[in-house]
């Protein structure tokens, strides 16, 4: 009578594989945890770029209409006399997680450095605000 040999992994082989997977997970975990701050910084930088573009487009529309904010030109020019007016010129407004620190833009074409911050994230981003429609 022939004796059948059982097929499969021994307990020691399984433990070695689990230990190797544990070591790999321990070395990879810090990189995955750091992705949150990278994502937050990217969101902040993206919103700062959007804000800068919105300010430039609004100024261009105001320049084309002689900085008139009423009548037929109202849709092309929004009055911007400080950085907080960003909410008015962005379609859909500024997302709730973001806030803008006010900087005066009292005259048409005046520029100022506006600061954008995001809730639950300490770093800030800066963009150039441009006065228009004044």
pTM of the model: 0.74
Signed CA dihedral, 61, 66, 72, 74: sign only: positive
pLDDT of residue 123: 94
C-alpha distances in Å from residue 42, one per residue of 55, 84, 121: 20, 22, 12
Establish if 51 belongs to a structural domain.
yes
C-alpha distances in Å from residue 24, one per residue of 90, 99, 117, 126: 45, 40, 36, 39
pLDDT of residue 72: 84
pLDDT tens for each residue of 102-124: 889 889 999 999 999 999 999 99
Establish if 17 belongs to a structural domain.
no
Establish if 3 belongs to a structural domain.
no
The structural domain count of the chain equals 1
pLDDT of residue 37: 86
Which uninterrupted H or E stretch holds 48?
helix 11-64
Establish if 52 belongs to a structural domain.
yes
pLDDT of residue 75: 85
Ranges of the chain with pLDDT below 50: none
C-alpha distances in Å from residue 53, one per residue of 5, 50, 60, 128: 72, 5, 10, 9
pLDDT of residue 33: 75
Q: Which domain holds residue 106?
A: 38-131
**Counting beta carbons within 10 angstroms of the beta carbon of residue 112, is it exposed (0 to 12), middle (13 to 18) or buried (19 or more)?**
middle
pLDDT of residue 2: 65
Cα separation of 45 and 28, whole Å?
26
Establish if 93 belongs to a structural domain.
yes
């Amino acid at each position: 009578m022939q004796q059948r040999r059982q097929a499969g992994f021994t307990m020691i082989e399984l433990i070695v594989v689990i230990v190797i997977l544990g070591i790999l997970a321990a070395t990879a975990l810090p990189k995955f945890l750091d992705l949150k701050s990278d994502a937050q910084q990217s969101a902040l930088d993206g919103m700062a770029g959007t804000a800068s573009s919105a300010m430039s487009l609004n100024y261009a529309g105001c320049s084309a209409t002689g900085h008139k904010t009423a009548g037929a030109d109202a849709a092309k020019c929004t009055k911007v006399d400080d950085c907080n007016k960003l909410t008015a010129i962005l379609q859909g407004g500024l997302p709730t997680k973001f806030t803008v620190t006010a900087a005066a833009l009292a005259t048409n074409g005046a520029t100022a450095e506006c600061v954008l911050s995001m809730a639950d994230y300490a770093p800030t981003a800066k963009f150039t605000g441009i006065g228009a429609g004044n």
